[in-house]
Amino acid sequence: MSAPSSAERKACWDTRDQLWKCLDDNHDNAESCEKFQKKFEAACPAQWVKYFAKRRDFLKYQERMQKEGFTIADGPKQPT
């Protein structure tokens, strides 16, 4: 497999951005964004689709942690 050209990369990123906007607008309802998902999968290499899905999950998690904060879990109790 050869590396995507700059036009192919741009097409991939554009479809990714359209999908992510749809998901944001529809509260991550994948069924509402099915047509964007299909366009994204058709425009991008499979490895990129997998990477961008993980990237979106991470960015959403990071955003939630920054907004809501987090509590450090207590570790195991040390014997006294």
Q: What is the pLDDT of residues 13-68, one digit of tens each?
A: 999 999 999 999 999 999 999 999 999 999 999 999 999 999 999 999 999 999 98
What are the residue ranges spanned by the domains of the chain?
6-55
Mean pLDDT for the chain overall: 92
Check residue 76 and give its pLDDT.
78
Check residue 18 and give its pLDDT.
98
Check whether 10 has a pLDDT greater than 90. yes
User: Concatenated DSSP letters for the chain?
Assistant: -PPPPHHHHHHHHHHHHHHHHHHHHTTT-GGGGHHHHHHHHHHS-HHHHHHHHHHHHHHHHHHHHHHH---PPP-PPPP-
